[in-house]
Structure 1
């Protein structure tokens, strides 16, 4: 069996402004992790502990609200803002895996993201991913604490794209023109249901197998079992965050850019069941997806014998994915990812 490990990488050389030699070493480690696994754990990210604690408290406060109250903030396929109740999504359909028609993803979530007001000098369409956020009126501190973390996660994502440029031997700031009004979404997830509210059958998933949609994902998560990553051996491997680390994985758009030199790795969340009940697990994924109108095509240095993907805009790609996971419209543009999902061994 092939050994599987998610490498832990300290990126403080880029955060603290260390010398060039230290940054070269970090970029080399990032390139290796992106080639071999598609997932990595990062330390030295610089997010203050009080910001993380405040954010975790805000997440807890929202999901502790009663179900009718949470439902008043329900999201939609078009705008991707607000609340998603349990079993309302099927992430596998974002890959076009048509056998996954049952809504078995039991997580609940709350989404915020980039809005038109963030870029008043640009005419950005709300329907393309820049919709206004909704905020629970019952929790007056929720907005402040969530936005404090959102700003830090955005900084980390921007730092990572700077490292990516170095790792891919591109000019400094290469990705800036693709991300200067990026579609960013922070999705706060809660994997817990009241006793007796769900049938714990064999098909139930915390979150179905999927690849992330954009450039890079920065994930804060509890040290609780559940997250599984598909390895090169075709098997699912358990992953938990190390102390003081954030999990980072690459999305489909980075795989397209690099012609699969770097991996957009399939992952899922399985329900950790203890004595017949689901143990609670929390996570928050910051998706850094790029400008809605940016055209993603294979980087010249990665074309090789030919590109595996045609050009596509960020908006076209993301909307097709969302139509699958929430609208139950199988994604016909994800044949390569769907084949990997279907061939994975338990």
Structure 2
């Protein structure tokens, strides 16, 4: 479980063996995945397995996503979020049913008891044309991207964004290969799930908040677990991300590491593994903890819950304002 607190005075943007600090997700060198040192690879697999048993979080360096590409996509993110609101809203993701485009501040609410979250985003994925079977069958998050038309150098923006999307999607498949080995199966075990898959990439912006704001009501994003299988998060230089340490119940800061990806397992992976990363995922005689469900059913239900919670909060807030308005008018009179 993670949360992102925005009590800092700087704004933050993000585009998902040494220890960064006691009990923080370890920083793992991922380069053995691409080499011939079987001993180093086995140590990496064991380290990842330990993280899976602890809380499902770790950071990786030594991957194949170029730092130069990371810098370019972060620049794209800044250029987009610097646009005036009315220009960003030209590609509002509410214009479609497949989650592509701009998401306004306070659109989502992941943690009960908080306020809708102070983050804005740009949702991007594989280009799925309107004659593609995925689009015609209304598959999850499958449709054409909405690209900003007023961002500077829009052709470069689109090219860099898709180049980055494909590079990180390949990295996600490499991570799944290692996760398969932690389960005692072949590294190719998850290949059928990634062939033809459509991942979701989000550029995210968390505006700075005054330190005297009510932190619980004004978080960048509340405490939550991710909906999907695996998330790779590239942080910028501004911290704010925290991860729950399962052993102590404490929230631990995850300090940004230049070029590193924070990796975390999502609800879907934990469901598939029966909340367990042991071979075969179930002890002898142990019943499955969850009934069968499709990815589309599970993720769609999670979207409806978090976005619906935010809409309910905002409607109730407006109703309270309207109820208080006559009283305030009487006082002024």
What's the TM-score, normalizing by structure 1? 0.75
Aligned residues: 282
Q: Distance in 2 between matches of 1:204 and 1:179?
A: 36
| Greater RCO, 1 or 2 (C-alpha within 8 Å, sep 6+) | 2
Q: Is the 8 A contact 1:108 1:190 kept in 2?
A: yes
Tell me which of 74, 97, 106 is aligned to 1:56: 74
- 1:288-319 deviations in Å (ceiling 9; x for gaps): xxxxxxxxxxx971112222222211001110
**Which residue does 1:283 correspond to in 2?**
none
Residues 1:206 and 2:220 are matched in the alignment: yes
Partner of 2:11: none
Query: What's the TM-score, normalizing by structure 2?
Result: 0.78
Question: Does the C-alpha gap of structure 1 residues 118 and 35 become closer, same or farther in structure 2, counting only changes over 3 Å?
Answer: farther
Q: Counterpart of 1:343?
A: none
Once residues 185 and 193 of structure 2 are traced to their aligned partners in structure 1, the CA distance between those partners, rounded to angstroms, is 14
8 Å contact kept, 2:105–2:118? yes
- Tell whether the 8 Å contact from 1:41 to 1:241 is kept in structure 2 after alignment: no
2:265 corresponds to 1:247: no
Matched, 1:256 2:303: no
Larger Rg: 2
Q: 1:316 to 1:13 in 2, by over 3 A?
A: same
Shift of the alpha carbon at 1:18? 2.1
Deviations 1:41-66 (CA, angstroms, capped at 9, x unpaired): 10111211221111011001000100
Unpaired stretches in structure 1, ≥5 consecutive residues:
263-298, 331-346
Deviation at 1:327, TM superposition (A): 2.7
Q: 2:231 aligns with which of 194, 210, 217?
A: 217
1:6 to 12, 25, 40: 25
C-alpha contact (below 8 Å) 1:114/1:129 kept by paired residues: no
Residue 311 (str. 1) matches residue 329 (str. 2): no
| Deviation of the 1:184 alpha carbon | 0.5
SS of the equivalent of 1:237 reads strand
SS in 2 for 1:72: helix
Which of 235, 249, 260 is residue 234 of structure 1 equivalent to?
A: 249
Classify the secondary structure of the residue corresponding to 1:35: helix
Q: Given the superposition, is the C-alpha separation of residues 124 and 180 from structure 1 closer, same or farther in structure 2, using an over 3 Å criterion?
A: farther
Given that 1:227 and 1:240 are in contact with CA atoms closer than 8 Å, whether structure 2 keeps it comes out as yes
Change (3 A) 1:28 1:143: same
Query: Given the alignment of the two structures, is residue 132 of structure 1 paired with residue 150 of structure 2, yes or no?
Result: no
Answer yes or no: is the 8 Å Cα contact 2:130–2:143 preserved in 1.
no
Distance 1:135 1:324 in 2: 27
Q: Which position in structure 2 is the counterpart of 1:25?
A: 43
> Which residue of structure 2 aligns with residue 302 of structure 1?
281
- The answer to whether the aligner puts 1:74 opposite 2:88 as a matched pair is no
Secondary structure of the corresponding residue to residue 145 of structure 2: coil
Paired with 2:97 and 2:134, the residues of 1 have a C-alpha distance of 20
List per-residue Cα deviations over 1:197-241 (Å, max 9, x = no partner): x99234211111111111110100113221111111222221122
Distance 1:29 1:124, change over 3 A: farther
Q: 1:136 to 1:165 in 2, by over 3 A?
A: same
Looking at structure 2, the residues matched to 63 and 148 of structure 1 have their Cα atoms a distance apart, in angstroms, of 19
Please give the residue correspondences for 1:268-287 in structure 2 after superposition, counting only pairs within 5 Å.
none
Q: Residue 266 of structure 1 corresponds to which residue in structure 2?
A: none
Higher helix share: 2
1:72 positional shift: 1.3
Distance of 2:104 and 2:58 partners within structure 1? 29
For residues 119 and 33 of structure 1, what CA distance do their matches in structure 2 show?
42
1:124-160 Cα offsets, whole Å, 9 max, x none, are: 6345221211101113121111111111110110101
Q: Are residue 320 (structure 1) and residue 301 (structure 2) matched?
A: yes
Change (3 A) 1:317 1:47: same
Instruction: Kindly indicate which of the two structures has a greater share of residues assigned to strand.
Output: 1
